[in-house]
Amino acid sequence: MYQKKKIIIGFSLSDPVNQKAERGITRLILFINLFLRCDLLFLLPHNHLIPKFLSGYNVKYFKNDSSLFDFSRYSRIISSDTLSDEDILFAFNDTLGNGRKFNLGLQFFIYLSFAILFFNFPQKIHFCAPVDKDKDGIWISPYFFIGKIWFIKRLNFTNFRKLEALSNDSLKFKLQKWLKNGWRSSRITSLCKKRIKYRTLLLERSLISEEIIKKNVLRFSRSSFLRIINSFF
Protein backbone atom coordinates (compact mmCIF):
# COMPACT_ATOMS: atom_id res chain seq x y z
CA MET A 1 0.00 0.00 0.00
CA TYR A 2 1.61 3.24 -1.13
CA GLN A 3 1.38 6.38 0.92
CA LYS A 4 -1.22 8.78 -0.47
CA LYS A 5 0.52 11.46 -2.48
CA LYS A 6 -0.66 14.51 -4.34
CA ILE A 7 0.82 15.64 -7.65
CA ILE A 8 1.19 19.37 -8.21
CA ILE A 9 1.81 20.94 -11.59
CA GLY A 10 3.18 24.47 -11.20
CA PHE A 11 3.14 26.94 -14.09
CA SER A 12 6.09 29.32 -13.59
CA LEU A 13 5.10 31.37 -16.61
CA SER A 14 4.96 34.93 -17.87
CA ASP A 15 2.86 33.90 -20.91
CA PRO A 16 0.03 31.35 -21.38
CA VAL A 17 1.01 27.87 -22.58
CA ASN A 18 0.70 27.29 -26.31
CA GLN A 19 -1.14 24.45 -28.06
CA LYS A 20 1.87 22.13 -28.22
CA ALA A 21 2.48 22.44 -24.48
CA GLU A 22 -1.27 22.01 -23.83
CA ARG A 23 -1.20 18.71 -25.71
CA GLY A 24 1.82 17.54 -23.73
CA ILE A 25 0.25 18.44 -20.38
CA THR A 26 -3.06 16.86 -21.40
CA ARG A 27 -1.24 13.59 -22.17
CA LEU A 28 0.55 13.84 -18.81
CA ILE A 29 -2.78 14.26 -17.01
CA LEU A 30 -4.08 11.16 -18.79
CA PHE A 31 -0.94 9.21 -17.74
CA ILE A 32 -1.38 10.29 -14.10
CA ASN A 33 -5.08 9.43 -14.05
CA LEU A 34 -4.56 6.01 -15.66
CA PHE A 35 -1.46 4.78 -13.86
CA LEU A 36 -0.90 6.80 -10.66
CA ARG A 37 -4.50 7.61 -9.74
CA CYS A 38 -3.79 10.33 -7.23
CA ASP A 39 -5.08 13.83 -6.54
CA LEU A 40 -3.98 16.55 -8.93
CA LEU A 41 -3.45 20.22 -8.10
CA PHE A 42 -2.54 22.94 -10.60
CA LEU A 43 -0.86 26.17 -9.48
CA LEU A 44 -1.05 29.21 -11.77
CA PRO A 45 0.28 32.78 -11.44
CA HIS A 46 -2.53 34.95 -10.10
CA ASN A 47 -2.84 37.07 -13.28
CA HIS A 48 -3.37 34.08 -15.59
CA LEU A 49 -6.72 32.83 -16.82
CA ILE A 50 -7.46 29.14 -16.24
CA PRO A 51 -6.96 27.45 -19.64
CA LYS A 52 -9.86 25.42 -20.99
CA PHE A 53 -7.95 22.14 -20.83
CA LEU A 54 -7.83 22.49 -17.00
CA SER A 55 -11.61 22.94 -16.65
CA GLY A 56 -12.95 20.74 -13.87
CA TYR A 57 -9.57 20.30 -12.14
CA ASN A 58 -8.41 21.70 -8.81
CA VAL A 59 -6.66 24.97 -9.71
CA LYS A 60 -5.20 27.48 -7.26
CA TYR A 61 -3.23 30.68 -7.72
CA PHE A 62 0.09 31.84 -6.34
CA LYS A 63 1.42 35.41 -6.18
CA ASN A 64 3.20 36.19 -9.42
CA ASP A 65 6.71 37.38 -8.58
CA SER A 66 9.01 38.05 -11.54
CA SER A 67 11.84 39.70 -9.61
CA LEU A 68 14.09 36.73 -10.47
CA PHE A 69 12.12 35.56 -13.51
CA ASP A 70 11.05 31.91 -13.17
CA PHE A 71 13.23 31.38 -10.05
CA SER A 72 11.13 33.75 -7.94
CA ARG A 73 7.95 32.15 -9.30
CA TYR A 74 9.33 28.69 -8.41
CA SER A 75 9.92 29.99 -4.90
CA ARG A 76 6.31 31.19 -4.68
CA ILE A 77 5.03 27.81 -5.88
CA ILE A 78 7.08 25.94 -3.27
CA SER A 79 5.91 28.20 -0.46
CA SER A 80 2.25 27.36 -1.14
CA ASP A 81 0.51 26.15 2.03
CA THR A 82 -1.26 23.38 0.09
CA LEU A 83 1.91 21.26 -0.29
CA SER A 84 2.98 18.30 1.86
CA ASP A 85 6.49 16.84 2.10
CA GLU A 86 5.70 13.63 0.18
CA ASP A 87 3.84 15.39 -2.61
CA ILE A 88 5.46 15.48 -6.05
CA LEU A 89 5.88 18.76 -7.90
CA PHE A 90 6.30 19.22 -11.64
CA ALA A 91 7.19 22.87 -12.31
CA PHE A 92 8.20 24.47 -15.59
CA ASN A 93 8.89 27.85 -17.12
CA ASP A 94 8.17 29.50 -20.47
CA THR A 95 10.78 27.40 -22.29
CA LEU A 96 8.48 24.41 -21.83
CA GLY A 97 5.29 26.47 -21.79
CA ASN A 98 5.89 27.69 -25.33
CA GLY A 99 6.31 24.09 -26.48
CA ARG A 100 9.86 24.62 -27.74
CA LYS A 101 11.24 21.49 -26.04
CA PHE A 102 8.01 19.53 -25.44
CA ASN A 103 8.88 16.66 -27.78
CA LEU A 104 8.68 12.87 -27.53
CA GLY A 105 11.90 12.24 -25.59
CA LEU A 106 11.04 14.82 -22.95
CA GLN A 107 7.53 13.45 -22.49
CA PHE A 108 8.88 9.94 -21.87
CA PHE A 109 11.40 11.39 -19.40
CA ILE A 110 8.56 13.11 -17.53
CA TYR A 111 6.48 9.90 -17.36
CA LEU A 112 9.52 7.94 -16.14
CA SER A 113 10.28 10.58 -13.52
CA PHE A 114 6.77 10.48 -12.11
CA ALA A 115 6.80 6.68 -11.94
CA ILE A 116 10.16 6.63 -10.11
CA LEU A 117 9.15 9.29 -7.59
CA PHE A 118 5.64 7.98 -7.05
CA PHE A 119 6.70 4.39 -6.38
CA ASN A 120 10.00 5.33 -4.67
CA PHE A 121 12.06 3.07 -6.91
CA PRO A 122 14.94 3.49 -6.91
CA GLN A 123 14.72 5.12 -3.49
CA LYS A 124 17.82 7.27 -3.96
CA ILE A 125 16.15 9.41 -6.67
CA HIS A 126 14.44 12.53 -5.25
CA PHE A 127 14.66 14.97 -8.15
CA CYS A 128 14.50 14.82 -11.96
CA ALA A 129 15.62 17.61 -14.29
CA PRO A 130 17.71 18.70 -17.29
CA VAL A 131 21.43 18.76 -16.55
CA ASP A 132 24.20 20.60 -18.37
CA LYS A 133 27.96 20.48 -17.91
CA ASP A 134 31.24 21.97 -19.09
CA LYS A 135 34.89 21.50 -18.18
CA ASP A 136 34.31 23.26 -14.85
CA GLY A 137 31.34 21.30 -13.56
CA ILE A 138 27.77 20.06 -13.82
CA TRP A 139 24.56 21.88 -12.95
CA ILE A 140 20.76 21.79 -13.15
CA SER A 141 19.13 23.70 -16.01
CA PRO A 142 15.69 24.21 -14.45
CA TYR A 143 13.41 25.03 -17.38
CA PHE A 144 11.49 22.21 -15.72
CA PHE A 145 11.97 19.90 -12.77
CA ILE A 146 10.08 17.13 -10.99
CA GLY A 147 10.76 16.31 -7.38
CA LYS A 148 9.56 15.54 -3.90
CA ILE A 149 8.53 18.61 -1.95
CA TRP A 150 10.76 17.87 1.05
CA PHE A 151 13.79 17.83 -1.25
CA ILE A 152 12.81 20.88 -3.31
CA LYS A 153 12.24 23.00 -0.21
CA ARG A 154 15.95 22.64 0.63
CA LEU A 155 17.00 24.34 -2.61
CA ASN A 156 17.96 28.00 -2.89
CA PHE A 157 15.89 29.71 -5.57
CA THR A 158 16.29 33.32 -4.42
CA ASN A 159 19.37 34.14 -2.29
CA PHE A 160 21.72 35.25 -5.07
CA ARG A 161 23.61 37.68 -2.81
CA LYS A 162 25.07 34.84 -0.77
CA LEU A 163 26.18 33.10 -3.96
CA GLU A 164 27.70 36.26 -5.40
CA ALA A 165 29.90 36.54 -2.31
CA LEU A 166 30.95 32.89 -2.51
CA SER A 167 31.46 32.54 -6.28
CA ASN A 168 34.96 32.82 -7.71
CA ASP A 169 35.93 35.49 -10.23
CA SER A 170 36.43 32.91 -12.99
CA LEU A 171 32.79 31.79 -12.82
CA LYS A 172 31.50 35.36 -12.67
CA PHE A 173 33.54 36.28 -15.75
CA LYS A 174 32.31 33.21 -17.63
CA LEU A 175 28.64 33.99 -16.87
CA GLN A 176 29.05 37.64 -17.83
CA LYS A 177 30.74 36.66 -21.09
CA TRP A 178 27.90 34.24 -21.89
CA LEU A 179 25.34 36.96 -21.20
CA LYS A 180 27.11 39.20 -23.71
CA ASN A 181 27.94 36.70 -26.46
CA GLY A 182 26.04 33.46 -25.85
CA TRP A 183 22.53 34.44 -24.71
CA ARG A 184 20.16 34.60 -27.68
CA SER A 185 18.20 37.49 -26.10
CA SER A 186 21.24 39.60 -25.27
CA ARG A 187 20.81 42.20 -28.02
CA ILE A 188 17.15 42.92 -27.25
CA THR A 189 17.31 42.80 -23.44
CA SER A 190 17.60 45.82 -21.14
CA LEU A 191 20.51 46.23 -18.72
CA CYS A 192 18.12 45.67 -15.79
CA LYS A 193 16.96 42.32 -17.16
CA LYS A 194 20.56 41.30 -17.88
CA ARG A 195 21.35 41.85 -14.19
CA ILE A 196 18.42 39.64 -13.23
CA LYS A 197 19.51 36.98 -15.72
CA TYR A 198 23.02 37.04 -14.24
CA ARG A 199 21.57 36.44 -10.77
CA THR A 200 19.50 33.50 -12.00
CA LEU A 201 22.61 32.02 -13.62
CA LEU A 202 24.37 32.13 -10.24
CA LEU A 203 21.36 30.42 -8.64
CA GLU A 204 21.25 27.83 -11.40
CA ARG A 205 24.92 26.90 -11.02
CA SER A 206 24.53 26.27 -7.28
CA LEU A 207 20.99 24.90 -7.07
CA ILE A 208 22.21 21.34 -6.35
CA SER A 209 25.77 20.24 -5.70
CA GLU A 210 27.57 18.08 -8.24
CA GLU A 211 27.78 15.22 -5.72
CA ILE A 212 24.02 15.17 -5.16
CA ILE A 213 23.28 15.54 -8.89
CA LYS A 214 25.29 12.38 -9.55
CA LYS A 215 23.74 10.50 -6.62
CA ASN A 216 20.11 11.61 -6.24
CA VAL A 217 19.00 13.18 -9.53
CA LEU A 218 17.54 11.51 -12.61
CA ARG A 219 19.31 13.49 -15.33
CA PHE A 220 17.94 14.66 -18.66
CA SER A 221 21.48 15.26 -19.93
CA ARG A 222 22.75 16.09 -23.40
CA SER A 223 24.20 12.60 -23.80
CA SER A 224 21.08 10.75 -22.61
CA PHE A 225 19.12 8.70 -25.13
CA LEU A 226 15.83 10.50 -24.42
CA ARG A 227 17.34 13.96 -24.82
CA ILE A 228 18.93 12.94 -28.13
CA ILE A 229 15.57 11.56 -29.29
CA ASN A 230 13.91 14.81 -28.13
CA SER A 231 16.00 16.85 -30.56
CA PHE A 232 14.50 14.92 -33.50
CA PHE A 233 10.93 14.02 -32.50
**Whether 81 and 148 share a structural domain:** yes
What CATH number is associated with residue 147? 3.90.550
Residue 157 has φ and ψ, to the nearest 5°, of -100, -5
Are 138 and 210 within 8 A, CB to CB? Answer: yes
With respect to residue 1, please indicate whether it lies within any of the assigned structural domains.
no
Q: What is the pLDDT along the chain (233 residues), one digit of tens a residue?
A: 445 789 999 999 999 999 999 999 999 999 999 999 999 999 999 989 999 999 999 999 999 999 999 999 999 999 999 999 999 999 999 999 998 889 999 999 999 999 999 999 999 999 999 999 988 889 999 999 999 999 999 999 999 998 888 888 898 999 999 999 889 888 899 999 999 999 999 999 999 999 999 999 999 999 999 999 999 88
- Which residues constitute the domain of residue 191? 158-206
Query: CB burial class (10 A; 0-12, 13-18, 19+) of residue 67?
Result: exposed
* Number of domains the chain is built from: 2
Nearest to 200 by CA among 219, 178, 217: 178
**Whether 82 and 144 share a structural domain:** yes
**Whether 100 and 152 share a structural domain:** yes
**Whether 32 and 146 share a structural domain:** yes
**Whether 119 and 221 share a structural domain:** yes
